[in-house]
Copies of this chain bind each other. A is one copy, B any other.
Amino acid sequence: MSERTAVEPVQACPIAPVVDLVFSRWTTPILWTLNEYGRQRFVELERRIGVITPKVLTQRLRQLERDGLVQRTYFPEVPPRVEYEITDLGRSLAPLFHSLAEWSPNLAKVEESRAHYDTHEPPHRRP
């Protein structure tokens, strides 16, 4: 047969797995809070994040625990106490978060672009 594809399909970009791990829903605020405020209890996390429900917070914490980014410690007291802490592996994401934060000022340009896009005639688009 002839050369079929001048363009070879690329399954996924190489950073996709990391993105899935670190930037799936709720993981960023959780990790950021744990990194910022240190070891804390379930209810503290819940309050700091503000809008998350306990069900979802539990789900995410379990996932992060399984992934080795968060350490869970149980104290058999009454009332029960559980503390969550970011691990060394989790902390190794700090430079990444730092990069994110450093890019933040560019959000202003994004806002500009959106405003321009929304107020001008679009380039050619189908009727």
Contact = CB atoms under 8 A, between A and B. Distances in A.
Contacts of A28: 13, 15-16, 19
A68 B9 contact: no
- For the residues of A in contact with B, the DSSP-based class is helix
**How many identical subunits does the complex contain?**
2
A96 interface: yes
Interface in A1-22: 5, 7-19, 21
Contact of A32 (B9, B15, B107, B114): B15
Contacts of A118: 66
Interface size class of A (residues with CB under 8 A): 35 or more
Interface in A111-127: 112-114, 117-118, 123-124
Contacts of A11: 50-51
A9 B47 contact: yes
B103 A99 contact: no
Contacts of A49: 10, 12
Given A33-B10, A48-B9, A123-B74, A100 B65 contact: no
